């Protein structure tokens, strides 16, 4: 009997479907690059049947992935082939730029239907991307309850727990038993969130006092009181920043957590699948910020890219101009010993890299809360020590090479001393600058790199020339 | 009745305990820096009662966090105050270096007891960190079943799905109903994993054919067959790399997934809480690799840090030495126009930063599978276009500045042209180098930066001097 039900769910031609799935996705479930032109060809040929077959091998997440590889025109033609539920799931998975583009071409009525199928947090996320006019149209086309849920979510600050949370939660009073809870869940099945992992146990004022994991409910006898199987809850304030929420989930290995208002009342829940996205996003932001890229999705236009990178390049140009001021100041020395011009950039470059190393470690440690006031001093001394040792080793190597090539031990000494000084200063700056920015409430990933580059470039030039002026000329 | 049970679980003096908790953790649940010296003082004073109070405000994850801030001596003194279950939880949360240090000082019998309390994947992780001698002793002190589970896990490759998975799973035949499944779970309660999120539905050869989320089990009537509420499963091959596993979890928003042997037989499960750690780890590795740091935890010694950074600095020194070869070749030009020595490093530095920008974007896009053969060409042209435009803008700014300061439009033209060329080449290299490394099966985050730095530094010097030789002299 169960077997028949199972078979009914398969299509008439399972072999072909499985073949298509193997063609669509690699063993690691990444989209095969060859599948993209196949879909594009079906779209260009207007072959709806072929397209339906190709799409049937994909889950909504794969369709979202596919759309990232299609041209804007193909994407627009693909959307009408998706049913409202799939469209909703696809929309919540799309990259921002692509989503904005798709939304701009989507009829308000179609979008309203898709939004009804989504969880309130995902729906709000999509509505937030709409232009004002369209937003009003779409919200007007939605049923009262769903519209209110979306509007409430959008009232919370961007990147706050209130935006991340689902308003749909399962709560039970603390005097219920396992049996009462299960009966309630069966009765209210239609009203429950699609998936949930904890039943929050609440007191009469709706404050969470514990969480009963669903696996504990399933394995316990019906007469066991909830209070006996519930575990400690980790409450998330509704206005907490998403980066802090992600830290808490990661630290305590949480699957879900209740979100509470300032008074302590339960208003929603955050589940770990939303947090995985946040962690990915935040660490990508750090990588890009350290490299001086303000933001760039896969579908940015060429001018979007230009914009996202130009600021850093211009700042870099300006700080370099100041740094080379040191060189201009010592032009006479360079004219006398051209080798200085050859060797200075090495000192700057190696110092810059030493600074970047310390900076990356410090930014990472600050983000994971592994660096704070209680160990900052110890880590600072350790970095200084390591910077000094590394500086010494690299300086000896460079000094030896300079002695061999230029037959001038004073020049070797000049460059070696400058290198030790620059790597030492790079280590100090690499740890102090992000600590100071964090203390000032700024994101240390965003602005540290420009300081460090400036510091090590100017020190590189200045140290070589100043030491040369003292011992070489 | 429930209320009483609830009260029984609180301590006699809840006010003090709550105060301590507020003192221990910030609103974001990060450890307060001030709490660390309080614990250290209690340890130094040998005040066990005070220490017990201080520790009672902390969960195992907080204790692990605390240990990262304590000195090695304090850490060693803290361990005997933890019961076996807490010790097990703490061990699975500790950073590698700290864990190795703690394990080295832990009696084998104590460790064996803590390991028995842990899930097989976490226990194996700890055993893997032991020296060979101690490993044999500890395993010999453990019961047969737990030892076998650990040894089986350790037989899988490092960073594979087999290492990540728990061997404890809940499986049910596809002909069972919801009621039969719940009865089974209640009967077998002691044998089940501590937490689970899906019951895997298996065929007679123990291959997963679907997954019934526990929340679906709870909300469905007892007579509903499992086959009716089960959902599609995403199988993870036991030998898959953890980075690919993390990609799959992130893509499909999975909470748990069955792990299968090559024949398709169910051998374990991976849950999302393990994956959150992997995602964090992999992105930290990328940040550090791009900055040229091979590895460094919070508790690395100073010489550990020296080692983790020296290779990159020495490589950087070597490539710079080659790059400045271009300068040495044109020494006569520099002696004539010292301004070239002043301006060259700017061209190198800005080019290097442009290369780093493109590189960071490309590495991130490759890691998230947003860049593959189907869009590589399009993204390559877009990067080239953006590189050209950015180069032009920055070159005009620099050319204007040079004209103002040096009153020499030929010099301005030289530097401007060199800057356009270098930023253009940086963009090309920033995308081509990681693509090529990925194609060769290498990690693009690890070795790309050194290539790009070399490329832009040598081009920066060479372009300025070669163009100067043509139009300036």
Burial class (CB in 10 A: 0-12, 13-18, 19+), B234: middle
User: Which residues of chain B make contact with A188, given a CB cutoff of 8 A?
Assistant: 219
Which residue on chain A is closest to B341 by alpha carbon? A341
pTM of the model: 0.85
Is pLDDT above 90 for A265? yes
Is B324's Cβ below 8 Å from some Cβ in A? yes
- The lowest-confidence range among A142-156, A430-444, B301-315, B343-357 is B301-315
Please check whether residues A92 and A176 belong to one and the same domain: no
Residue A6 pLDDT: 40
In this structure, is residue B188 part of a structural domain? yes
- Whether residues A225 and B253 touch (CB distance < 8 A) is answered with no
* Domain limits for position B354: 324-471
Is B439's Cβ below 8 Å from some Cβ in A? no
Is pLDDT above 60 for A170? yes
Alpha-carbon gap: B137 to the closest alpha carbon of chain A (Å): 31
Burial class (CB in 10 A: 0-12, 13-18, 19+), B191: exposed
Instruction: Put residue B261 in one of left, alpha, beta given phi > 0 → left and psi -120 to 50 → alpha.
Output: beta
Give tens-digit pLDDT for B364-411. 888 888 888 888 888 899 999 999 999 999 999 999 999 998 899 999
CATH number at residue B368: 1.10.357.20
Residue B96 pLDDT: 82
Q: Which of B2, B209, B286 comes nearest A226 by C-beta?
A: B2
- Whether residues A368 and B291 touch (CB distance < 8 A) is answered with no
Question: Do the Cβ atoms of A106 and A113 come closer than 8 Å?
Answer: no
In this structure, is residue B300 part of a structural domain? no
Give the residue from B294, B303, B295, B316 showing the smallest Cα distance to A386.
Answer: B303
Please check whether residues B148 and B216 belong to one and the same domain: no
- Whether residues B346 and A359 touch (CB distance < 8 A) is answered with no
Is A440's Cβ below 8 Å from some Cβ in B? no
Please check whether residues B109 and B19 belong to one and the same domain: yes
Counting every residue written for chain B, the total comes to: 473
Give tens-digit pLDDT for B62-112. 999 999 899 889 999 999 999 989 999 999 999 888 898 899 889 999 999
- Whether residues B195 and A423 touch (CB distance < 8 A) is answered with no
Four-point Cα dihedral B280, B286, B288, B293, nearest 10: 130
Please say which residue of A159, A192, A211 terminates a domain: A159
In this structure, is residue B353 part of a structural domain? yes
**Rg of chain B over all Cα atoms, to the nearest angstrom:** 30
High-pLDDT (> 90) share of chain A, %: 57
Please check whether residues A334 and A395 belong to one and the same domain: yes
Question: Do the Cβ atoms of A358 and A432 come closer than 8 Å?
Answer: no
Helix pair B376-406, B339-367: axis angle to 10 deg: 160
| Confidence band for A423, pLDDT divided at 50, 70 and 90 | very high
Is B350's Cβ below 8 Å from some Cβ in A? yes
Is B39's Cβ below 8 Å from some Cβ in A? no
Please check whether residues A178 and A133 belong to one and the same domain: no
Residues paired with residue A31 on neighbouring β-strands, in sequence order = A25
Q: What is the DSSP string of A415-465?
A: HHHHHHHHHHHHHHHHHHHHHHHHHTT--HHHHHHHHHHHHHHHHHHHHHH
Please say which residue of B157, B181, B214 terminates a domain: B157
In this structure, is residue B313 part of a structural domain? no
Question: What's the average model confidence in pLDDT over A264-284?
Answer: 89
Report the domain count for chain A. Answer: 3
User: Which residues of chain B make contact with A276, given a CB cutoff of 8 A?
Assistant: 249-250, 253, 272, 275-276, 279
User: Which residues of chain B make contact with A172, given a CB cutoff of 8 A?
Assistant: none
Please check whether residues A244 and A353 belong to one and the same domain: no
Order the strands of the A198-202 sheet from edge to edge.
Answer: A171-173, A198-202, A208-213
- Whether residues A186 and B220 touch (CB distance < 8 A) is answered with yes
In this structure, is residue A456 part of a structural domain? yes
Spatial distance between the Cα atoms of B284 and B293, rounded to a whole number of angstroms: 11
Residue A194 token pair: 């699609």
Spatial distance between the Cα atoms of A292 and A450, rounded to a whole number of angstroms: 8
Please check whether residues A333 and A460 belong to one and the same domain: yes
- Sole residue written with tokens 């996705």: A25
Query: What residues contact residue A67 under an 8 Å CB cut-off, 6+ apart?
Result: A75, A78, A90, A94, A98, A102
Residue B368 pLDDT: 84
What is the helix (H) or strand (E) element at residue A4, kind and residue range? Answer: helix A2-9
Q: Tell me the residues of chain B between 108 and 137 that have a Cβ less than 8 Å away from chain A.
A: none
Please check whether residues A453 and A379 belong to one and the same domain: yes
In this structure, is residue B341 part of a structural domain? yes
Instruction: Put residue A256 in one of left, alpha, beta given phi > 0 → left and psi -120 to 50 → alpha.
Output: beta
Please say which residue of B242, B271, B300 terminates a domain: B271
Spatial distance between the Cα atoms of A391 and A418, rounded to a whole number of angstroms: 9
User: Which residues of chain B make contact with A262, given a CB cutoff of 8 A?
Assistant: none
Please check whether residues B228 and B333 belong to one and the same domain: no
| Confidence band for B52, pLDDT divided at 50, 70 and 90 | very high
Residue B296 pLDDT: 59
Is pLDDT above 60 for B189? yes
In this structure, is residue B124 part of a structural domain? yes
Burial A303-319 (b: 16+ CB within 10 A, else e): ebbbbbbbebbbbbbeb
User: Which residues of chain B make contact with A461, given a CB cutoff of 8 A?
Assistant: 345
Q: What is the DSSP string of A148-188?
A: HHHHHHHTSPTTBHHHH-BS---EEETT-BHHHHHHHHHHT
Alpha-carbon gap: A379 to the closest alpha carbon of chain B (Å): 8
Question: Do the Cβ atoms of A309 and A293 come closer than 8 Å?
Answer: yes
Question: Do the Cβ atoms of B192 and B168 come closer than 8 Å?
Answer: yes
In this structure, is residue B227 part of a structural domain? yes
Residue A266 token pair: 């339960």
Neighbours of B334 (CB within 10 A): 25
CATH number at residue A21: 1.25.60.10
Task: Give the DSSP letter of residue B12.
Answer: S
Please check whether residues B330 and B466 belong to one and the same domain: yes
Q: Average model confidence (pLDDT) for chain A?
A: 88
Give the residue from B245, B279, B240 showing the smallest Cα distance to B160.
Answer: B240
Distances (CA, A) of A278 to A30, A160, A238, B276, B278: 20, 11, 16, 11, 14
Please check whether residues A177 and A76 belong to one and the same domain: no
Which residue on chain B is closest to A454 by alpha carbon? B349
Please check whether residues B138 and B198 belong to one and the same domain: no
Q: Which of B317, B346, B379 comes nearest A397 by C-beta?
A: B317
Spatial distance between the Cα atoms of A139 and A109, rounded to a whole number of angstroms: 10
User: Which residues of chain A make contact with B406, given a CB cutoff of 8 A?
Assistant: none
CATH number at residue B205: 3.10.580.10
Spatial distance between the Cα atoms of B419 and B269, rounded to a whole number of angstroms: 54
């Amino acid at each position: 009997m169960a077997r028949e039900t199972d078979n009914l769910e398969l299509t008439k031609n399972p072999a072909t479907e499985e073949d298509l799935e193997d063609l669509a996705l690699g063993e690691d479930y990444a989209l095969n690059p060859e599948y993209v032109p196949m879909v594009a060809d079906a779209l260009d040929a207007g072959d709806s049947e072929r397209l339906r077959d190709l799409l049937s091998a994909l889950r909504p997440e794969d369709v979202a992935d596919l759309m990232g590889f299609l041209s804007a025109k193909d994407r627009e033609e693909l959307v009408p082939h998706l049913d409202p539920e799939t469209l909703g799931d696809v929309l919540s998975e799309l990259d921002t730029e692509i989503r904005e583009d798709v939304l701009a071409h989507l009829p308000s009525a179609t979008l309203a239907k898709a939004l009804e199928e989504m969880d309130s947090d995902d729906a709000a996320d999509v509505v937030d991307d709409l232009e004002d006019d369209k937003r009003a149209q779409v919200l007007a086309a939605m049923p009262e309850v769903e519209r209110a849920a979306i509007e409430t979510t959008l009232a919370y600050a961007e990147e706050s727990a209130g935006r991340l949370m689902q308003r749909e939660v399962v709560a039970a009073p603390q005097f219920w038993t396992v049996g009462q809870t299960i009966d309630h869940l069966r009765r209210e099945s239609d009203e429950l969130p699609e998936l949930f992992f904890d039943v929050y146990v609440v007191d009469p004022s709706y404050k969470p006092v514990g969480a009963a994991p669903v696996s504990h409910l399933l394995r316990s006898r019906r007469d066991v009181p909830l209070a006996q199987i519930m575990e400690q809850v980790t409450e998330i304030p509704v206005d907490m920043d998403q980066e802090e929420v992600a830290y808490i989930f990661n630290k305590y290995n949480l699957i879900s957590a209740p979100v509470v208002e300032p008074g302590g009342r339960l208003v929603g829940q955050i589940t770990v699948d939303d947090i995985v996205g946040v962690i990915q996003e935040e660490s990508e932001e750090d990588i890009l910020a350290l490299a001086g890229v303000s933001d760039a999705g896969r579908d940015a236009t060429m001018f979007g890219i230009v914009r996202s990178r130009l600021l850093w390049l211009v700042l870099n140009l300006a700080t370099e101009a100041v740094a080379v001021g040191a060189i201009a100041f010592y032009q006479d020395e360079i004219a006398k010993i051209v080798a200085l011009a050859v060797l200075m950039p090495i000192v700057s470059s190696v110092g810059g890299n030493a600074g970047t190393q310390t900076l990356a470690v410090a930014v990472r440690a600050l983000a994971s809360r592994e660096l704070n006031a209680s160990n900052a001093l110890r880590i600072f001394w350790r970095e200084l020590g390591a910077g000094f040792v590394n500086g010494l080793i690299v300086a000896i190597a460079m000094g030896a090479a300079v002695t061999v090539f230029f037959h001038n031990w004073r020049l070797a000494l000049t460059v070696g001393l400058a290198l030790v000084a620059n790597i030492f200063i790079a280590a100090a700056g690499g740890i102090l600058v992000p600590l100071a920015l964090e203390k000032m409430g700024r994101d240390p990933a965003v602005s540290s790199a420009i300081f460090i580059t400036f510091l090590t470039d100017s020190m590189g030039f200045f140290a070589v020339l100043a030491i040369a002026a003292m011992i070489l000329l």
